[in-house]
Amino acid sequence: MSSTTEERRSGSLAIEIGELERKYAGLRIADPGRQSRLTASISAHGQQTPVVVVPQAPDRYVLIDGHARVAALESLTRDLVDALVWPVSEAQALVLSLRFEISCRRTALEDGWLLHELIEGHGQHPADLALALQRSASWISRRLSLVRVVPESVQAAVRRGQVPAQAAMKSLVPLARAKAADCERLVAALADRSISVRQLATLYQGWRAGDAEQRERLIDHPWLYLKAQDEIAVEPLPEPTEGARLETLMETLVSLARQVSRALRRGVLRQASVSQRRAIEASGQQLALLLAAIERLIAEENDHARPRHPGHDPAPSGPGSRDPHHCPHSEVVAQRGAPGAA
């Protein structure tokens, strides 16, 4: 081998894109938005970071890191790529790329794909990988389990960017663990349309909450389900009527009165300080006046609402409809007004 060839195979150089073997492209998730930004950057400023390759054969290299940069250069009809040649094996290069995350940060699913490739394709042992990556055995196991539990067709949808990786982790992984067939059918029913993290979470929550029939309808028609959920979400709730507000206030008042009654029966008042007792007693007097006023107003409203017959006075309908002058505190309230009612 000549010195020139040796230099080409162990250092940084510009090589022809046609000399690259891109068999590990499937270990990364496609990101059209990021790809467009990268292409625009390279078009304006040139390639700023070299890709990583390892020698394979004379004038052939295996691309380890930089698939997006190579795709951007190809779209710009460039023939050459700046590359850093690592004089190590493919397995060693893959381990280094994972350990130091040379390119953009991988998702947990991408970690799983790379670990699976190292174990199944290169005969690496999980314990050795944990040591080389300075990771725990449980970290290796968790990421491998993602690859093993998620159906391959679902992983393919993630690879091509149809399903966001975050959505897959939050919704599809637990769905696949619960019922892999439903997970696979759901992604197939999306019909290659991109889906958001929120939409997939809505589908998964609907699947969890539904019975067998509802799950079948959701899986067969996910977009119809999402449309229905959006319509429910935007449908305005009716404004509560004044009567409904008053009913809620009275229920709250009764609940608070019960709590006060229970506290008094427990002897809380006896344990209070002198100043606290005076404040509580004053509040109790005000409350008594207010309750008397409320009782009188309810009686008057009922009296007005009761149908009248010519020549007959309306008959009382209950204790709350008696003459307000019979209420022991009515004169005080009429003169002073309800304390605290401003």
> pLDDT tens digit string along 162-182?
998 889 989 999 999 999 999
List the chain domain ranges. 1-89, 164-233, 282-301+319-342
Q: Is the pLDDT of residue 316 over 70?
A: no
Is there a contact between 187 and 199 (Cβ–Cβ < 8 Å)? Answer: no
CA distances from 220 to 67, 174, 211, 213, 225 (A): 36, 19, 14, 11, 9
Q: Tell me which fold the domain 1-89 belongs to.
A: 3.90.1530
The amino acid at residue 131 is: L
Residue 218: how many other CB atoms lie within 10 Å: 23
For range 82-86, the mean pLDDT: 94
Rounded to whole angstroms, how far apart are CA atoms 342 and 340?
Answer: 6
Counting residues of the chain whose pLDDT is more than 90, the rounded percentage is 51
pTM: 0.58
Residue 298: how many other CB atoms lie within 10 Å: 13
Give me the chain's average pLDDT, please. 84
More confident residue, 328 or 116: 116
Token duo for residue 169 = 């982790």
Is there a contact between 69 and 47 (Cβ–Cβ < 8 Å)? Answer: yes
